Amino acid sequence: MTDVTAVPIVTMSRRRVLGAYLEEARSECLRYMRNPSFMLPIMLFPGMFYLLFGVLMAKSNGADAARYLLASYGVFGVMSPGLFGFGVSLALERNSGLLTFKRALPMPPGAYLIGKMVMAMVAAAGVILLLLAMATTLGHVSLAAPQVGALLLVGVLGVLPFCALGMFVGTVFKGQGAPGVLQLIYLPMSFMSGLWFPLPMLPKFLQQIAPIWPSYHLDMLALAAVGMNKQPLFAHVLMLLGFTAGFLLLAARRLRRHG
């Protein structure tokens, strides 16, 4: 008989597991913050849109217009790091074999994905802070401290549904095809959910289908944060949670099957 030497199973302590999660999140944030081709479009596009429509063109409509568009363009801005920072990078890293390499490393299996989520949340916070600075200095928008905190919280947590959608797209499409697919999702969804123009200005059929988009529900929360929406919010929160959970499950299933 051949002697088989048992290999002991080494388990990581909770402190080392937490350290692995924190290190992966830190490395993801540093990698993208040092990448101008990623950070500049994410910060500049919502900033330019808000400067044009929320500050310059909204002056004749008073501070309420600038406040309204602060919430809407904030949502438009936080969608991008979730969709592109998560979805495109996942597709490229699957294509290059980096994801397979990461799975072979002695690290918690969820650290890679959580690191990308943290990166998207940090980028979303940057977008909201930039728009808040523009709104208060150039748009003369007056917000109380709780409103500022609420809008920042909505932006940081509101990126997660788009991380889930980006993750799903990144598991379905190859690296070179994912950016185009995400653009076809990002821009029409932003328009049809009333982020560029208030919903009453859009055709009636677009107003009727707006609630199918997660960006619409996040916009309702952002408007409530700045005092522009007094309606109940529970249904919007529930829709965003369901959207996030649904696409995370679909993406996780595809990753298990196809890598």
pLDDT at 41 (0 to 100) = 80
Q: Quick one: angle between helices 111-137 and 160-172, nearest 10? A: 130
Q: Which pLDDT score is estimated for 113?
A: 81
Q: CA-CA distance, 105 to 224, in Å (whole number)? A: 44
What type of residue sits at position 44?
A: L
Spatial distance between the Cα atoms of 206 and 193, rounded to a whole number of angstroms: 8
The answer to whether 74 touches 158, Cβ cutoff 8 Å, is no
Backbone φ and ψ for 68, nearest 5 degrees, come out as -60, -45
* 181-211 tens-digit pLDDT: 999 999 999 999 999 888 888 889 989 999 9
Question: pLDDT tens across 142-181, in order?
Answer: 899 999 999 999 999 999 999 999 989 988 887 778 888 9
pTM for the model stands at: 0.86
Q: Where do the domains of the chain lie?
A: 14-258
Classify residue 195 by its DSSP letter.
S
Q: How confident is the model at residue 62 (pLDDT cuts 50, 70, 90)?
A: low
Instruction: Return the minimum-mean-pLDDT range out of 70-79, 101-110, 114-123.
Output: 101-110
Judged against a pLDDT cut of 70, whether residue 60 lies above it is answered with no
